[in-house]
Structure 1
Amino acid sequence: MNMDEKDTNLETTQMPPAGQPPEALEVVMIDDDEEERQRWQNKSGITLRPPRRVVSTPIIEEVDENGETHYCYGEAATEDFPAEICYEGERRELKNEEYEQILAAFKQAQAKEDGYKPLRPLEENTTLPRFPMENLPIALFEYCKNLSEAMEMSADLAGTAMLGTLAALLQGRYGISPEPGWEEPLCLFVLGVARPGEGKSHLMKAVTNPLFKHQTKLFSDYADKAIEIEVRLDMARSAYEAMRRECSSLKGGPREIKLVEMEDKLREIKALEKSAPPRLVANDVTAQKLAGLLQENKGRISIISAEGAVFSNIAGLYDSQPNFTNYLQAYSGETIIVDRVGRPGEYINDPRLTMNLMVQPDVLDQVVKNRTLLERGLPARFLFSLPESKLGRRKIEGAPKLDPEIKKRYEDLLEELIALAEEDTYEILTLSEDAADLFTGFRKAADERNNGDLANLKEWTSKLPGQVLRLAGLMHVATYREEAGKMPVDYFVMKEACELAWSYYIDHARHAHQIMGSDKNMKRAVALLKALDQQDWKAFTAYEVARSLKNQSFKKGADAEVFLNILVDYGYLKIEREQSGKRVFYKYIVNPRWIAQSKDRLA
């Protein structure tokens, strides 16, 4: 029984036999009734009882001086009972945190068994999967686990930021190609979302510290070089002026020779004037400044921030219209050409841009509300992480400490990757035969889901195979380091990358697109659920919904899919693939648990 990755061992409870799948567990949720609890306690399976508080108020009988009896309430007594877990007659009390972890594991097992997600009220937040940090290379996994526990923050934010940091380091050093004619750069756009006070800035600093230390060293080294450049520039300008004066008195062949010398000297001056400290990282930049930074730094730059101010620039804070073409092109490695009036423009071939961001929920809300950003596909390029907040549930005292050995192993890895990135070469990673087969299967499955449960995320899902390739390339280099270019990406690394997408990033992307800034979507999902119940349907297609439920204003099946898939996320429906001849279609099946409790169903 896999409870969770975080030490939730049942010390006094006899566990199921090794290897027994979670689907085989009989999970019984019970109420506060003592008789009901005892009835299940000696049965097979697991009984989980939530924590509860019992308030009892005694009734006191009093007789007054006239002999009349009066009743009044005495002082209320409050008694708290902890959560409990029972298995094969054994019983153990649980801390609240243990109860929540085990409950989540039970719900996941239940969802695997019948195909439905846990049934939840639509007004509540959906339960999103935790970040599978065990899929990361070992040095990243150890630090992700230790850092998130020490800071009492979600491992989701740390793991996603680590992937963004790998991309910032390696985007200019490697690419990946699954087949001839298809190459993906190793840059990423990642976005973690956390409430104010969570500690985003401290976490981002802990994850990216080796990168910023290297940037500081580059600035320091350039400071000494800058004096030399200034002296050489002054001398070059003086020499050019002397040549110009001399050339004015020359004619014929000598004049032509001197003009060639002046051209060379002017090229030297222009090169010295353009000299700037090497930049690996930017923060708050406009689209125009981004093009300049890319040109000055061999077409490579990363935006790393725990504030998300870059979205204000993208959305048009400094311009009347949003201007983010450069961001889209740099993500894809497309050539950027910027023409300017009265001064030279920029031409950046094969650019690379990584965005590694942590923002507050209202920033994401502004992004998904901006129709221009949505229509141009900027959110479709992001890997989203929307973990549950731990504010109000932190231990403060007694939390695990950061292990210096684990931290050193992580920082040693990043320093090794920095040294690799400094090499003046570019390598294309390829896939082993079994990794290529696995990736092909992933592409087919993702394409099928484009017409199923991911129909309302088609643009994001269409980029998912490329995202998986990028993740696989980054994790391959982090695993094999300086040997990475000498071997193809293997099956196991590709499997880890695919599982990151399947088990985590798909659900978080769907959640980001569905409910952030979309209260209207939730209201329509509630109305649609009520309409489905009144129809007493148990299985149907999106087309049947659009055709039959005229009051829902769906012009076609695709219009209904957005709201049907919200109901899938909340456990009311599941999607099944059916085939009739060559025609493949998808049916929505109503959860029997909902049918049993719905008040809107026909009697």
Structure 2
Amino acid sequence: MTVQKPNSRPYARHIPGLEEIPPELSDLPIWCAWKLKQKPGKKPDKVPVSAVDGSEKWSQEGFCTTAERAIHYAESKPMLQGVGIILYREYGLAGGDTDDCINEAGEVAPHVAEIIRKADTYTEFSPGLSGFRFIARGSFGGHTGNSKAKGVEFYEDKRFLTFTGHHLEESPFAIEDRDLSELGREYFPDRKAPENGPEGATQGDKMDAMRVLSLVAQIRNDGEGVDYDTWQKVGAAIQYELGPHGFAVFDLWSRRSDKYDKDKTKGTYQSFGNYSRRPATGGSLHYIVEQQEKAAPAIEWPPLVDLDTAAPVPLPVNEWPPILRNYAQAASQETETPVELPAMLALGVLAVAGQRLADVNIKPGYFEPINLMIATALPPALRKSAEFKRAVKPLLQWEADTRKRLEPEIKKAESRLAMQKERIKQQRQMAAKEKDEHKAASLMDKVIEMEADLPEVPRLPRVYTSDVTTEHLGTMMEHNNGELGLLSAEGGIFETMAGRYNQGVPNIDLYLNGHAGDPVRIDRGSKPAVILDNPRLTIALAVQPDVLHSLSTKPGFKGRGLLGRFLYALPPSNLGNRSGQGERMDAFTESSFYETVKALLSAGENKEERDIIKLSDEAREIWQQCWQDVEAEMGENGLFEHCRDWAGKLPGAVARIAALFHIARHGQDYKASAVSADDMSAAVRTGEALASHALAVYGLMAADPDAEGAKVLIKWIKRHGLQEFTARDAFQNHKSRFDRADALEQPLQILTERGYIRPVQYKPQGPGRPSKAYQVNPAIL
């Protein structure tokens, strides 16, 4: 058997569309996403990720969802590789996996070709493109396991399988009903199922599936027409198929039902229970059918089309080095702000200190500075100013301590300078009065010599500023060894960049060069020249979302790459859910962060050359995979197609963050070791999260007012649990946003087109002109 491999790279990110998934699987709640976890020298692990909450604990309840939702989730998270399924016995699915069975010529190992022929069901290529997996509706009869020698795995319960959608054309595009027990015995003969099924159930208890379903339908009428003996047969049939494990699930479900009782007067019991101990009943089946109907949207509703990019995922702060993690989490708890705000500000402050110390060497010939540009956006009243003041405190303390240390020396130097200038003045006067040209020339030579020996007065170092013109920013950087931090709790610096002090002409070259470390030469006629050979500029801002919304209108910001240099954080607001009783950050956590930053600033004071931080081999492999993933998403129809300016700098930003994590972990001993795989992995996952925030910010920049109005209406509908409403209701509740009733027409039309609502006939309850009425899609409630 010879096959044609898909036109793809092994383990490349690929998310199948619904049309690539057999319809028998798409609506089952068995779907999740997955990501790669690199293992040096070995194949990468495939880690399942919940498409509901992003967790990796796939054994927990509520981990899975439908294919459509899993696909959408994976598409919104750039570092996820794709989607997959988890086999659960109750859905009657079985799956097989074969590894390393296809050679370069596409020839399939004979025993695998025979497995595919016998299974005769949906089969696809695995993510590594070196094997296959098949999925059928049936059972191996308990003969399951993993044979490493033969490269064959058979599973039918509690097993994660990736789903690539790379269908093997030689196999059916359907999940076929198959008895796989003979195939299972061939490879795992020692794994046997009980001959007579579960205890208390025998082959004679089997019942036609359609008969069971018809009986379940009768349960909708409280069991009317279903006698006690029939219930016994239904219970026996289900027990034979599912076994005691299935009954545990049914019993759990039934005990959650408000119908749980033991009323025998109707001829039925309301709990399935353990059939081997007592007769089967219909209550739990009734409950299960009810819950399935509630979970599935009514078939007459079209699929929902999202109004915008998926919500950004939280930063994985729990994976950051302890100095940063503990500080950010404690600050978030105290002021009850989203953890992204203190985390990003702390990272920015660390970058101010770190940029003075070192650059990171990613691979031969490729170096990155480790300064960052950060913009975190939150609405008013979320304690941005309080967190900003806390974050910059070590910078202020270091400047104050240095000022106190240098002031005596500065005063002495200023005194010597004043005295020397006075002597020069007197010498110059003597030269001017001297009539002998030879003696006058000698005096002037002395003046020149004295001027050359003028003592230099030390400047008080500055490590950050909050509000500065672009011209003076260059001067400040020159006076501080080419390095500076620009940190602010406002977004006014964007107006400065856009030309506030330059007749509206954008002036962003210094910011671009300061991010990249490119040389700067500024000559402004009468003003002193600014020369920066190796500049470093870190920016960390805490602004309101409207500031980011307006950035796309600034001339040159996107086209010249300024917006692509920022790392954005757009966490959700928690206003209305705060307790007002946040626990104060403990002194040790606060001082540990402060003292680390101050020690790093001192280590970088007057440093003539930066050190080089290298990556370990494992860290470099992880970074390279990150680069490949991002590169693949910048192509046509890729996740980053419309923000390539940002995505193109993401791998470099990940390396910068990893180097800062390394410095945070090792302090002044950062030179003693290379960046570890753990710090690089944490940086990559931070980059993944920041990518989701960047996509949201780029969507915010291009937001349509009518679409934004539609989102406001959706929040109103959800908040009040509305099943129906009128246009008049909507207007009356949103007069502060919509100045007239017809301003609602387009937002309502958008919601209608995207499946959130639909017009219905409305009968007015009183006099007056009738208003348009709408029914709400129950899937959004």
Paired letter, 1:310: I
What SS class does the counterpart of residue 160 from structure 1 fall into? helix
Which stretch of the first structure deviates more once superposed, 212-221 or 437-446? Answer: 212-221
What corresponds to 1:446 in structure 2?
Answer: 630
1:418, distance to aligned residue in structure 2 (A): 3.0
Alignment of 1:253-292 (within 5 A): 258-269=443-454, 271-272=456-457, 276-292=459-475
1:423, distance to aligned residue in structure 2 (A): 6.5
Give deviations 1:233-265, integer Å, cap 9, x for gaps: 321221222232344438788766654543343
* C-alpha distance 270-464 of structure 1, shift in aligned 2 (>3 A): farther
* C-alpha distance 44-316 of structure 1, shift in aligned 2 (>3 A): farther
C-alpha distance in 1 between matches for 2:530 and 2:604: 24
1:459, distance to aligned residue in structure 2 (A): 0.9
What corresponds to 2:404 in structure 1?
Answer: 220
What SS class does the counterpart of residue 372 from structure 1 fall into? coil
C-alpha distance in 2 between matches for 1:197 and 1:442: 37
What corresponds to 1:372 in structure 2?
Answer: 556
What SS class does the counterpart of residue 456 from structure 1 fall into? coil
Please tell me whether the aligned partners of residues 309 and 696 of structure 2 are also in contact (alpha carbons under 8 angstroms). no
* C-alpha distance 244-298 of structure 1, shift in aligned 2 (>3 A): same
- Normalization by structure 1: what TM-score? 0.65
What corresponds to 1:7 in structure 2?
Answer: none
Is 1:173 paired with 2:373? no
Paired letter, 1:403: D
Paired letter, 1:407: E
Please tell me whether the aligned partners of residues 375 and 568 of structure 2 are also in contact (alpha carbons under 8 angstroms). yes
What corresponds to 1:590 in structure 2?
Answer: none
Which stretch of the first structure deviates more once superposed, 205-214 or 400-409? Answer: 400-409
- Normalization by structure 2: what TM-score? 0.51
Please tell me whether the aligned partners of residues 339 and 345 of structure 1 are also in contact (alpha carbons under 8 angstroms). yes
Give deviations 1:496-530, integer Å, cap 9, x for gaps: 1111101x11010111111235216958999xxxx
Is 1:338 paired with 2:522? yes
Paired letter, 2:682: E
* C-alpha distance 232-387 of structure 1, shift in aligned 2 (>3 A): same
C-alpha distance in 1 between matches for 2:685 and 2:634: 18
Give deviations 1:304-336, integer Å, cap 9, x for gaps: 111122112111111111111111111111111
Larger Rg: 2
Alignment of 1:73-472 (within 5 A): 122-123=306-307, 126-248=310-432, 249=434, 258-269=443-454, 271-272=456-457, 276-320=459-503, 321-397=505-581, 399-422=582-605, 424=607, 425-451=609-635, 452-472=638-658
C-alpha distance in 1 between matches for 2:509 and 2:518: 10
Please tell me whether the aligned partners of residues 176 and 429 of structure 1 are also in contact (alpha carbons under 8 angstroms). yes
What corresponds to 1:558 in structure 2?
Answer: none
Is 1:513 paired with 2:698? yes
1:165, distance to aligned residue in structure 2 (A): 0.8
Paired letter, 2:486: I
1:481, distance to aligned residue in structure 2 (A): 1.5
Which stretch of the first structure deviates more once superposed, 177-186 or 219-228? Answer: 219-228
Q: Higher relative CO (CA 8 A, sep ≥ 6), structure 1 or 2?
A: 1
* C-alpha distance 490-259 of structure 1, shift in aligned 2 (>3 A): farther
What corresponds to 2:171 in structure 1?
Answer: none
C-alpha distance in 2 between matches for 1:267 and 1:494: 51
Q: Which 5+ residue runs of structure 2 have no aligned equivalent?
A: 1-31, 33-55, 67-218, 224-246, 257-272, 275-294, 296-302, 712-753, 757-776
What corresponds to 2:678 in structure 1?
Answer: 492
1:136, distance to aligned residue in structure 2 (A): 1.1
* C-alpha distance 346-514 of structure 1, shift in aligned 2 (>3 A): same
Please tell me whether the aligned partners of residues 165 and 207 of structure 1 are also in contact (alpha carbons under 8 angstroms). yes
1:431, distance to aligned residue in structure 2 (A): 1.2
1:366, distance to aligned residue in structure 2 (A): 2.2
Give deviations 1:162-220, integer Å, cap 9, x for gaps: 11011011101111111232221111001111111111011112222112111222333
Give deviations 1:68-109, integer Å, cap 9, x for gaps: xxxxxxxxxxxxxxxxxxxx99xxxxxxxxxxxxxxxxxxxx
Paired letter, 2:660: L
Alignment of 1:573-592 (within 5 A): none
Please tell me whether the aligned partners of residues 27 and 45 of structure 1 are also in contact (alpha carbons under 8 angstroms). no
Number of residue pairs the alignment of both structures matches: 439
CA RMSD of the aligned region, Å? 3.8
1:138, distance to aligned residue in structure 2 (A): 1.0
Paired letter, 1:279: R
Q: Which 5+ residue runs of structure 1 have no aligned equivalent?
A: 3-17, 29-34, 50-87, 90-109, 111-118, 527-569, 573-594, 599-603
What SS class does the counterpart of residue 467 from structure 2 fall into? coil
C-alpha distance in 1 between matches for 2:395 and 2:406: 17
Please tell me whether the aligned partners of residues 219 and 277 of structure 1 are also in contact (alpha carbons under 8 angstroms). yes
